Amino acid sequence: QVQLVESGGGLVQAGGSLRLSCAASTRTFSRYTMGWFRQAPGKEREFVVAISWSGTYYSDSVKGRFTISRDNAKNTVYLQMNSLKFEDTGVYYCAASLRRPVPNANEYDYWGQGTQVTVSS
């Protein structure tokens, strides 16, 4: 069982930046594909970005603005979000999987509780 705890959400003006963190409780963190998803009110959960040993994968909506990184020594994955837009508003979830990085939420086995990101226009 892997526990994931997100932090770093908050309220920011459009054009601003936030950095999310996700700490994982596993000694084999480096083996996991780590993903970020988000869910806006009334909408389905959508893929944002994922990182694994094979590389990083971004959704088109955040490419060039968001950057995912990981520190395997700290069992933590980060999401740097720049040039935030109103449509980036939502609850951001961290997820972990031992499978290859894919945008399908069903392929991820462990989820955090989410952290709210609100971008004011």
Q: How confident is the model over 6-38, as pLDDT tens digits?
A: 999 999 999 999 999 999 999 999 999 999 999
Q: Give the residue, 15 or 54, on which the prediction is more confident.
A: 15
Spatial contact of 79 and 48, defined as CB atoms under 8 Å apart: yes
Q: What is the structure's pLDDT at 102?
A: 85
Q: What is the structure's pLDDT at 53?
A: 87
Residue 100 has pLDDT above 90, yes or no: no
Residue 121 has pLDDT above 90, yes or no: no
Residue 77 has pLDDT above 90, yes or no: yes
Q: Tell me which H or E stretch contains 70.
A: strand 66-71
Residue 80 has pLDDT above 90, yes or no: yes
Query: Can you list the pairs that 105-109 forms with residues at least 24 positions away whose Cβ atoms lie under 8 Å?
Result: 105/37, 105/45, 105/47, 108/33, 108/35, 109/2
Q: What is the structure's pLDDT at 101?
A: 81
38-50 per-position pLDDT tens digit: 999 999 999 999 9
Tokens 């031992």, located at residue: 98
Strand 110-111, strand 90-97: pairing: antiparallel
Spatial contact of 84 and 15, defined as CB atoms under 8 Å apart: yes
